[in-house]
Structure 1
Amino acid sequence: MKHASALLLSLLFSSPLAAQDTTALMGFTKAHAAEELQREKQFDQTLKAENLRQWMQRMAAEPHHVGSAYDKDNAEWMAKQFKSWGYDTKIETYQVLFPSPKVRVLEMVEPTKFTASLAEPALAEDATSGQTDAQLPTYNAYSTDGDVTAELVFVNYGVPDDYEKLEEAGIDVKGKIVIAKYYGSWRGIKPKLAAEKGAIGCLIYSDPQDDGYFQGDVYPKGAFKSEYGVQRGSVMDMPLYPGDPLTPGYAATKKAKRLDRSQAETLTKIPVLPISYHDAQPLLEALQGPVAPEKWRGALPFTYHIGPGPVKVHLKLEFNWDQKEIYNVIATMKGSEFPDQWVLRGNHHDAWVNGAADPVSGMVALMEEARAVSELAKTGWKPKRTIVYCGWDAEETGLIGSTEWVEDHAAELQQKAVAYINTDGNSRGFLFMGGSHTLEAFCAQIAGDVQDPQKKVSVLQRRKAFDIVNGGGREKYKGFTISALGSGSDYTPFLQHLGIASLNLGYGGEGSGGEYHSIYDSYDHYRRFKDPEFAYGIALAETAGRATLRLANADLLPFEFDHFYKTMAEYLKEVMETADKMRKEADGLQANLKEHLYELAADPNEPLYQPKAPQPVPYLNFAPLQNALTTLETNAKQLEALLKTDLLPAQKRTQLNALLYHAERQLVREEGLPRRPWFRHQIYAPGFYTGYGVKTLPGVREAIEQGDWQEAQEQIDFLARVFTEYNAYLEKMLTAGK
C-alpha cells in the first residue's frame, strides 16, 4: 500500500479527481452566471495577503479579552475600517456577566507538599508573551467559587464512558476532586459530569500525548504545547443555553431584568481549574490505586494510576463576578432589489489572550473579504440582497455577543435572514465545512471554484483526496459532504435557536499546534507555524466570499433538498441501528462487563464487583418517521426538477425565494428539545454530554442513548410530525412553482 502522502498526491492529480464540474452555477440563469463568475474573478484579484498580515499584527498586539481596553479598541478600529469602505456601520453593546479570577490556589497536601505554579512563562522568541499586566490568568470562566480539600481521582477524559468504567471497578468519585485530560469532549462537560457523580472539585490538564511533546517539538522550537502551556476556556453549561447566564432567552441590554447569580443554571456546581502538564505531573505521579487502563494512559513518564489517594489536594478559587460591556461590530451594505433579505457573515474578534489564530486569523479574512466586496461596489455594482458583516464580541466566554444580538433582533431575523456564514480561527491545509444540508450541493460547487494555494488544484479536489485517504479508500468515498453543526462558534444562535440556514467553514489539518487559548497564541507563533504567507487566509476569503456573493446575488436561492433527504435518511438509519445494537448488547452484557472489570482490576485475584443487571431494550416504532421520510424523498425529487433557474420566470423565482429561505425555520419548534427549550432545531444540536459535538435528530438520539424508552418513542412521534409539516411546506413550494 502506498504511503499516505504519496497516495494523496496521486489522488490529487489523477484524472477522476481532476475533472472540472461543468454544470451551471447554482442559483443563476446562464446569462447571470457568466456575470457572477467574472465578478468573482475581480473579487479574487482585489484580495491582498499583506492586509491580513498587517491587521493581525495590529489586532493581536495586546490581549483583548472581554472587558479589556484593547477589546473595545479593536472593535472601534474595525468599525472605522468598515465605514471607510462604505458600509453603514455601528457598534451594538450589551452588558454581560464576566467573571475573572482573584484567588487561585492548587496544592497537594498529602502525601507530600506541592504548590502548582498556575503560570505560563514569557519567552524571548514570543514578543507578546510577556504582557503579564494585561493577560488574563489561567482559569476556567464560569467556574463557581470554592474552597475544597479531598482525595484525587484520575478520570481519563471525564466523559460518561469513563465514569461507567470507574463504577464497574467500584471506584466512587463522591466527595473527591477529579483530574481529567483535555480532549474527549468539550471542557464544560467535565465539571458538569463530575458534579453529577458527586465530586466536589475538578482539574483539567493537557496531557502531552494529546497536546505536547508526544505530537512534536514544543514551543518555541516547534508548534506544540510546552509543559507550562495552559488552555483557558469557558465551562458554562452551553448545552442548556449559550449567551449571558443571567438573561436566558432574551438580550442583555442595560435595562434587562437579570437573574440572581444563584439562579443561573449554566454556572458550574463545583470549582474547576485548568492546569499545565508541568503542574499535573506531581499529582498524577503520586496517585496509587488501580493502574489505569491502557487507553487512559498518557505520555508523562510514569505509570498512570486512578486513585483515590494517597494524593489529597486543596483547591481554592474566588472570582470577581462583574458586569462587562461587549461590542458587536455590524456593517451593512444594502441590497438593490431585495433589501429585506439579509445574507449574514460573521466571525468573532475577542480572544482569551492575544488570539492571533483564534480568532484574528478568521476575522482579518472576513475584513479583507468585506473590503474586496466594497471595491466591487465602487464599479457601480450592488448586491441584490443586503449583506451584513458581523464582528462578534464575547464568543470565547459562551457565544455571548452573537447570542445576545440574535435574541435582541430575533423577530427581524426570522423575517429577513436568508443564511448565516460563519468562520472562526483559520490555518492551512484542507477545507472543512459544516452546516445546513440544504446548502451541501452549493458548498461543493464553491469548493470546486477555489484554488488551493499549495497544490494548485481546487480545494474540492484536495478535500476529496483527503477524504479518500482517511476514509478507507475510493470504494468507501460517497462524495463531498458537509458535516452537521453542533456548537462551539457563533452559528449556534442563528441555526439552533432561530432556524436560519447556516454554514461554518475554515482551513486546517496542516497547522496543528498547542497554542490554543494560551499566551502563546500570538502573531509570532502564527507566522511560524500556522499560515506564514497568509495564503490560506486569502483562500478563506475567496471561499466565504463566494458563499456570501452568490447568496446575495442569486436569481434563485441555491437551496437543494435531495442532499437533505439523503442525510436525514442516514441519520434515521443511525438511530435505528443504535437501538438495535443496545438491544443486542443487553442480551450479553453480563459477560462483556466482566471482561471490562478484569481489565480495570488492580489485582485479578481479588473478587470482582458485580455489575448491575442489564435493563431490557424494547422495540421502538419508527414507522411514522420512515413514512415521513419516504414522502420527503418524493418531494425532494420533484423540487429538484422544479428548481431549474432558467426554466422559471422571474415572478416565480421571487415567490419561491421567499419560501426557500424560510424552509429551515420549519424544522424549529417553540418548545425546543427536552429539558433545554432554548435549542429549538429538531435536526441539529450540541449533545447534552458532548458540548461541541453534534447530536443529529437530538430528541430521539439522546433519549435512546440514555435508555429513556418512553421519551424515545414520544420523540420519534414528535419528529415525525415535524417532518410531516416540513413536507407540507415543500408541497407549498411545489405549488408556488407551477
Structure 2
Amino acid sequence: MSIPYDEETQPLVPRGVTRRRDNSVASFLARGRSNTINSLKSGFETVKKHKNEFWLLIIGSLVLYLGFTLAFLPRTSLSRDFRRLHFSKLTKSEAFRIYVETLMKENKCQDHLSNYTSHIHWAGDAHALEYTINELSMLGFTPKLEEYHTWLNEPVKTEVTLWDQNHLLYNASMTEDYISEGEDNDSFKKVFGFHGFSANGTVRSEYVYCNYGTIEDYEHLLSHNVKLEGKIHVIRYGAIMKGIVVKNAETFGALGAILYTDSFDDGLITENNGYKPYPEGPARHESSIERGSVLLVDSVAGDPTTPEYSSKHKDVKRLNSSSNLPTIPSVPMSEREIAPLLKLLNGNGIQWETKGNVKGFQYFSGPSDAGVSCRIVNEQKYLTKEITNVVIEIPGILKEQEVIIGNHRDSWTSGGAGGPNSGSSILLEIARGFSALHQKGWKPLRTIKLISWDGGEQGMLGSTEYGEYHRESLSKGTVAYFNLDLGVIGSKLNIKANPLLNELIVRSSKRTLFKEDPEVTLYDYWKESSNATIDILGAGTDFAVFQNNLGIPSIDFSFDRDPKKDAVHQFHSSYDSFEWMKTFVDPDFSLHSTMAMFVGVSTLSLTENELLGFKTHEYMIEISKYYKTLYSNISEVFPNDEMIMTLKDNLVDLLELLTTHTTLDFDAMVDFVREQTQQDYPWWEWNKKLVILTRLISTNSKLRKLDRYFITDEGLKGRPFMKHSIFAPDKQTGYQGDVLPGLHEALLSENRQECIYWLETLLTQLDKISSLLTI
C-alpha cells in the first residue's frame, strides 16, 4: 500500500518540547485589551475635561481596533477552531507525543503480569478484579463496575482410567507436574484438566483414536469400517475449535471425548528436534494440559442460557438447554498421560498418515481390544456466578461517538501469562498513557472506553453480556472496537481486522517505534517479518459481539508465535506462566510496551482526527475477492438455474461498480474533505468552513453506518447470533474467519433456497451501500 508523506506516517520520536501558543488569537486580543486599559487610565484627567470628544474617540478607537484586529486575525482551520471552541488544551501532535513519552519513560507491564499470574483467577475472581480497580483508580480514573449473573461451571473432579475387564491398568492424575517459579514468584497451583461447559457424566467403553476430529477424519474412518458408535473418542487438538471437536464426536456416536495436545503440532520447537522442555528449554512440557471451553463459540458467544439478551439481573429468564452445548462428557489430557491408552491401539484399525510424538504410539485408529475399556468421570459444578466488567471512560468532545479497547482478565489456571494477561498488562499501560494526557487537561475528540472483561475464557461472557445489554447505544455510537487477548506470546506481529481499518493500522504502525529503536518502526519490522499482512477476523475472543453481532468494525492485536523460532505457548496450561514469559518470550517486556504504544497510537489516530480513518475501497476489494472464489462454485452446484445465474451475475456487476468507481470516488472525496478540514482560511470565509463542517458530518455519518448495513435480523442459518453477512467464524473449523459465510454455507449444503436468500440479501445490502457512498 502506497501512502503519501504526511505527519501521520512519521514515527513519534519524543522531542521533550511542547509547542508554544503565544501567538494564538486569544493572547493577541489579551495584549490589545491590556494596552487599551492602560491608555484609558493614563488619560483619565483629560477625559473629565473633554467628555464628548472622549466618547467620539472611544467609538473611533473601537472601530479602528476591531477593524485592525479582524484584518490581521490569523488564518485558522476548521480543525483548530473546533478544538478551541471546546477548550482543548493540547494539539493533536502534543497528545500523540505525550502518550508515547509516558510509556517510554517507564514500563510497568512486568509488575502487572506478575500480579495477575500470582494465583488461580477463574471467572469472577475477586483478587484480579481488585487489582484492576486499584491500578485504574491510582491513575486518576473512576472505574465503573458492571455486574452480570452468568451460568458457568467450575471443576469438582475429572478422572480417566484404563481397564482390562475389571482390572485397573492405569489411573491418570489429570494434573500437571509441579514446577517452582522461583522464591520471589512461586505461583504454581495445580488445577485439574477440565473443559468449560462440558456435560457431567460417567461413561465407560472401548475407545477409538479419531485424529483431529474433523468431518473428513470421521468420513475416512467410516470408509474403512472403523466402528465409532458407542465408543469413547480420543482426539488431538489443532485443526478445529474444541466445541466443534466435541460436537463432531457426539454426531458420530461418541459416549465421551478425550482431547489431548500432541507436541508434533508445535512445529520446529519440540523435544524430538533436540529442544529441552520447559522449564529448562522452550519446548512443551509433556504433562502440559490444554483446558478450554467446549461451548460452540463459532455459533454463539456469551451466557448460553440467555441467548441474544443480557444476564444483567439474577432472576433473568434462562433456557434449560441449548443446541450449542455438548451432551457428552469431555476432558483434556496431556501427551504423557494419554500415551498408556493410545499404545494399546497399535495394530488395530487403520494407521493414520499424520503421525505425532506420543511415545510408543504408532497412530492406529483402533478401536481397543474387546475387554479393554476407558472410563471417564466428569463432575462439574454448574452455578450462576456474578462476573464483573471494569469500565473507565474518558469523555470526548463528541460524546455520542466512542472507541472501545477491551481485554478479558480471567484465566483457567494460575498462569495465563500469554493469554490473556499479557493483554491485561498492556491494557493497564494504555490506561497509564491516557492518564498522563488526561492530567494535562486533554479531552479526546471522541470518547474512549477501556474495559476489562470478566468471564472471557468460558465463552466471552463479560463482553457479550455487555454488548447485549448496551446494544442500542453501541449500535448508534461505537465507532470501532480494539481487542487485546493473546497480547504477546511470540515475536510475530499478528493483526486481524475489518478491512475498513486497514489503512489506519498501517499508518499507526509507521508512527510506532519497534522496541523504542529510533531507527526501526513497527511497520518496518512487520513488513520484513510477514509482509505487513492483515488477516480477517475469526472467533474465540471478545470482538465477537462487536463485529459479528453488532457490525462494529474491530481489530484484534497480538504478537503471535512463530513456530519456526519462538518458544511453545502452552495454551491454557499452568505453564503459560510469568516465568515462561520472562525467560523465553519477552525478557525486558519491550514487546508489551511496543504493543501498548501501537494500540494507543491507533486509538488516538481514530479519536483525534475529525474525519474517521476508514477506507471503503479495501473493504469492497476484499468482498469481491472472496466472491470470485465462490462464483464458479455457484454454477457447479446449481447448473442451469436461471434465477441463481441472474442473481450471481447481478452481484458481480454491482461489485464491479463498487470496486472500480463508487468506493474509489468516495475515498477520494474523503481525502479531499480531510484536507479541507485542516486547511487554514481567513475569518471572512466562515461560510466555507460551514460547508466543510456539513460535509464532515455527512461523511462521518456514512462511514459509521457502512458496516451496520451488513447486519441481518435472522443471522446465519442455525447461528442467529452471527448476524454479519460478510464476516463470521468458519462453521467447519471455528478458529478461522469466513467471508460471505451465508452464501458459502448454502453452497456447501447445496441448499437452493438459502443460496437465493443470500444472493438477494447481499445484492440488497451492497445496493444500499452503493447509494450511501455515491457522491
TM-score > 0.5 by shorter chain:
yes
Residue of structure 2 aligned with 1:539, choices 557, 582, 594: 594
Q: After TM superposition, list the pairs within 5 Å mapping 1:296-315 onto structure 2.
A: 296-298=355-357, 300-310=359-369, 311-315=372-376
Residue of structure 1 aligned with 2:560, choices 494, 497, 508: 508
Residue type of the alignment partner of 2:325? L
Secondary structure of the corresponding residue to residue 529 of structure 1: helix
Equivalence for 1:372: 433
More displaced stretch, 173-182 vs 122-131 = 122-131
Equivalence for 2:14: none
More displaced stretch, 415-424 vs 204-213 = 204-213
Q: How far does the alpha carbon of each residue in 1:22-77 deviate from its partner, in whole angstroms, 9 at most, with x for none?
A: 24639xx898799534432221111155411111112211111114xxx2222222
Residue type of the alignment partner of 1:484? I
- Please tell me whether residue 497 in structure 1 is matched to residue 552 in structure 2: no
- Please tell me whether residue 209 in structure 1 is matched to residue 238 in structure 2: no
CA RMSD of superposed structures (Å): 2.7
Q: 1:193: Cα distance to partner? A: 0.6
Residue type of the alignment partner of 2:541? S
Q: 1:702 to 1:126 in 2, by over 3 A?
A: farther
Q: 1:173: Cα distance to partner? A: 1.4
CA distance in 2, matches of 1:376, 1:49: 15
Q: After TM superposition, list the pairs within 5 Å mapping 1:542-553 onto structure 2.
A: 542-553=597-608
Residue of structure 2 aligned with 1:322, choices 383, 388, 395: 383
Q: How far does the alpha carbon of each residue in 1:481-511 deviate from its partner, in whole angstroms, 9 at most, with x for none?
A: 4211121111110111111111111113354
Residue of structure 2 aligned with 1:269, choices 306, 323, 327: 327
Secondary structure of the corresponding residue to residue 465 of structure 1: helix
Secondary structure of the corresponding residue to residue 278 of structure 1: helix
Equivalence for 2:703: 660
Q: 1:621: Cα distance to partner? A: 5.4
Q: 1:651 to 1:127 in 2, by over 3 A?
A: farther
CA distance in 2, matches of 1:129, 1:140: 27
- Please tell me whether residue 395 in structure 1 is matched to residue 456 in structure 2: yes
Equivalence for 2:536: 484
Residue of structure 2 aligned with 1:555, choices 610, 621, 627: 610
Residue of structure 2 aligned with 1:36, choices 92, 98, 103: 92
Q: After TM superposition, list the pairs within 5 Å mapping 1:241-260 onto structure 2.
A: 241-260=300-319
Residue of structure 2 aligned with 1:184, choices 228, 231, 239: 239
The answer to whether the Cα contact below 8 Å between 1:72 and 1:327 also exists between their aligned partners in 2 is: no
- Please tell me whether residue 342 in structure 1 is matched to residue 385 in structure 2: no
Secondary structure of the corresponding residue to residue 771 of structure 2: helix
- Please tell me whether residue 97 in structure 1 is matched to residue 151 in structure 2: yes
The answer to whether the Cα contact below 8 Å between 1:208 and 1:214 also exists between their aligned partners in 2 is: no
- Please tell me whether residue 448 in structure 1 is matched to residue 510 in structure 2: yes
Aligned length: 664
Q: 1:165: Cα distance to partner? A: 1.4
Equivalence for 2:520: 457
Residue type of the alignment partner of 1:636? T
Q: How far does the alpha carbon of each residue in 1:207-250 deviate from its partner, in whole angstroms, 9 at most, with x for none?
A: 12124534632111113321111011111111221101111111
Residue of structure 1 aligned with 2:675, choices 638, 646, 649: 646
Q: After TM superposition, list the pairs within 5 Å mapping 1:349-360 onto structure 2.
A: 349-354=409-414, 355-360=416-421
Q: 1:362 to 1:289 in 2, by over 3 A?
A: same
Q: 1:223 to 1:127 in 2, by over 3 A?
A: farther
Residue of structure 1 aligned with 2:394, choices 321, 324, 333: 333
The answer to whether the Cα contact below 8 Å between 1:620 and 1:713 also exists between their aligned partners in 2 is: no
Q: 1:357 to 1:620 in 2, by over 3 A?
A: farther
Equivalence for 1:411: 472
- Please tell me whether residue 22 in structure 1 is matched to residue 18 in structure 2: no
Q: How far does the alpha carbon of each residue in 1:430-461 deviate from its partner, in whole angstroms, 9 at most, with x for none?
A: 32111111111111111122222287522222
Residue type of the alignment partner of 2:724? H
Secondary structure of the corresponding residue to residue 418 of structure 1: strand
CA distance in 1, matches of 2:365, 2:636: 30
Residue of structure 1 aligned with 2:444, choices 364, 372, 383: 383
CA distance in 2, matches of 1:50, 1:78: 17
CA distance in 2, matches of 1:447, 1:74: 31
CA distance in 2, matches of 1:235, 1:342: 33
CA distance in 2, matches of 1:258, 1:284: 44
Residue type of the alignment partner of 1:691? G
Q: 1:577: Cα distance to partner? A: 4.9
The answer to whether the Cα contact below 8 Å between 1:186 and 1:691 also exists between their aligned partners in 2 is: yes
- Please tell me whether residue 52 in structure 1 is matched to residue 52 in structure 2: no
Equivalence for 2:658: 632
CA distance in 2, matches of 1:728, 1:135: 59
Equivalence for 2:72: none
The answer to whether the Cα contact below 8 Å between 1:107 and 1:314 also exists between their aligned partners in 2 is: yes
Residue type of the alignment partner of 2:548? Q
Equivalence for 1:72: 126
CA distance in 2, matches of 1:145, 1:417: 40
CA distance in 1, matches of 2:151, 2:734: 21
Equivalence for 1:234: 293
CA distance in 2, matches of 1:380, 1:229: 49
- Please tell me whether residue 139 in structure 1 is matched to residue 194 in structure 2: yes
Equivalence for 2:762: 719
CA distance in 1, matches of 2:351, 2:341: 15
Q: 1:713: Cα distance to partner? A: 3.6
Q: 1:678: Cα distance to partner? A: 1.1
Q: 1:664 to 1:56 in 2, by over 3 A?
A: same
CA distance in 2, matches of 1:393, 1:663: 30
Q: 1:103: Cα distance to partner? A: 2.8
Q: 1:578: Cα distance to partner? A: 5.0
Q: 1:255 to 1:104 in 2, by over 3 A?
A: closer
CA distance in 1, matches of 2:753, 2:322: 29
The answer to whether the Cα contact below 8 Å between 1:393 and 1:401 also exists between their aligned partners in 2 is: yes
CA distance in 2, matches of 1:509, 1:73: 29
CA distance in 2, matches of 1:394, 1:81: 20
The answer to whether the Cα contact below 8 Å between 1:484 and 1:694 also exists between their aligned partners in 2 is: yes
Equivalence for 1:81: 135
Q: 1:306: Cα distance to partner? A: 0.5
Q: How far does the alpha carbon of each residue in 1:380-409 deviate from its partner, in whole angstroms, 9 at most, with x for none?
A: 221011110000011001000000011011
CA distance in 2, matches of 1:527, 1:243: 33
Question: What are structure 1's unaligned runs of at least 5 residues?
Answer: 1-16, 469-479, 585-617
CA distance in 2, matches of 1:422, 1:127: 34
Q: 1:377 to 1:129 in 2, by over 3 A?
A: closer
Q: How far does the alpha carbon of each residue in 1:592-618 deviate from its partner, in whole angstroms, 9 at most, with x for none?
A: xxxxxxxxxxxxxxxxxxxxxxxxxx9
Q: 1:718 to 1:408 in 2, by over 3 A?
A: same
Residue of structure 2 aligned with 1:123, choices 179, 182, 193: 179
Equivalence for 1:568: 623
The answer to whether the Cα contact below 8 Å between 1:123 and 1:129 also exists between their aligned partners in 2 is: no
Residue type of the alignment partner of 1:122? Y
Secondary structure of the corresponding residue to residue 705 of structure 2: coil
Question: What are structure 2's unaligned runs of at least 5 residues?
Answer: 10-76, 84-89, 678-691
CA distance in 1, matches of 2:219, 2:357: 20
More displaced stretch, 436-445 vs 80-89 = 80-89
Q: How far does the alpha carbon of each residue in 1:553-592 deviate from its partner, in whole angstroms, 9 at most, with x for none?
A: 11100111111111111111122355578899xxxxxxxx
Q: 1:20: Cα distance to partner? A: 8.9
Secondary structure of the corresponding residue to residue 575 of structure 1: helix
Q: 1:131 to 1:260 in 2, by over 3 A?
A: farther
Q: 1:291: Cα distance to partner? A: 3.9
Residue type of the alignment partner of 1:461? D
CA distance in 2, matches of 1:37, 1:415: 29
